[in-house]
Amino acid sequence: MERRTFLTGTGAALLAAALAAEAQQAPKIARIGYLGGVSAVPQIHEAFLEGLQDVGYVVGRNVVIEYRDPEGKYERLPVLAAELVALKVDVIVVSGTPMALAAKQATRIIPIVFVAVDPVSSGLVSSLARPGGNLTGLASLIPDLVSKCLELLNQAVPRVSRVAVLWPPGALGERTEKDMLTAADVAGQAVRMQLEFVEARSPADRDRAFSEMTKARAGALAVLPSTILVRERRRLVDLAAKTRLPAIYTQTEFVDAGGLMSYGPNAANLHRRAATYVDKILKGAQPGELPVEQPTKLELVINLKTAKALGLTIPPSLLARADEVIQ
């Protein structure tokens, strides 16, 4: 009787040890919240998934992603951000300033990795070197980007004197927008361009905006950075073609859709890099101690087919600088 009791106890102990070892070996399933326009530019999100795979995460095996896409209705962002917080995800990834601001408002505890924002001027972080708080990620320094776009537009269309500048108020945060418009104004004066700032708050405003450009006799167009406008890139490109306006954008997706030229960081590369921040945070790093990464390369893309349709000859010096030329 005593021997049987001993064996039973020993078996139970071995079973418990085996279960404990199995539990230790079972990989933890990470939960990522993704707040952004997945449907707007699918290739950008695919780059993020590729980045996760590069650092060892496979959806369905050791990571689960909870998606929340506002689908262009940015008034829904506070609710969508709150839903991710309620799910108690391990980290939230946001693409664009409106999403980042909504996520920051929703939580000061869950780590947030942002992509393609101007984090200091928008008030997301205190500094690039030591962001502090629960946010970090990859920056896109918008005022500098806008200035360079106007310089390149001046080289592509050297005789143009009046340029329309399209922007959606409220999309980037008050301070970022102020800095962006100031930078554009200074850059315009430097190349002797008269800028006509045209607001487009909603999709219904787009036709009206281009009508204003025509009335103002604009000879070219600069579309300022916006996650809102990139959703409507095909429509904007078509309107620019219809009004015969040579246009520059800050996202290559516009040129892929038939736009004339773009200058800015490669959005897919930024989202691929965001996966490394997620990995570090999941392994215990504090987001406030991870320096914000700035783009190391900005790409110039030119669509020669569009230039030909506009009757425009791109200077050879500008073509030589291009990272990609679409024939």
pTM of the prediction?
A: 0.86
Of residues 281 and 267, more confidence is placed in 281
Q: Whole-angstrom Cα distance, residue 278 to residue 87?
A: 17
Q: Are 138 and 293 in contact (CB under 8 A)?
A: yes
Asked if pLDDT for residue 1 goes beyond 90, the answer is no
- DSSP code of residue 241: H
- What does the alpha-carbon distance between residue 279 and residue 259 come to, in Å, rounded to a whole number? 35
| Mean pLDDT rounded to a whole number for the chain | 88
Instruction: Specify the pLDDT at position 9.
Output: 53
- Compute the distance between CA of residue 124 and CA of residue 139 in angstroms, rounded to an integer: 11
Give me the residue label for tokens 């780590």.
111
- Buried b or exposed e, range 24-34, using 16+ CB within 10 angstroms: eeeeeebbbbb
Question: 300-316, pLDDT tens digit by residue?
Answer: 999 999 999 999 999 99
Distances (CA, A) of 34 to 87, 115, 211, 233, 306: 12, 11, 37, 22, 35
Q: pLDDT for 8-27, tens place per residue?
A: 555 555 555 545 554 455 56
pLDDT at 60 over 70: yes
Question: Residue 114: its pLDDT value, please?
Answer: 96
Q: Is the pLDDT of residue 146 over 50?
A: yes
* Residue with more model confidence, 112 or 116: 112
pLDDT at residue 224, rounded to an integer: 86
The domains of the chain, with CATH numbers, are 30-140+266-289 (3.40.50.2300), 142-264+299-326 (3.40.50.2300)
Predicted confidence band of residue 201 (pLDDT cuts 50, 70, 90): confident
Tokens 């050879």: give the residue.
316
Residues 6 or more apart whose CB falls under 8 angstroms from that of 244 comprise 310
Instruction: Pick the more confident residue, 171 or 207.
Output: 207
* Chain-centre distance for alpha carbon 141: 12
pLDDT recorded at residue 142: 72
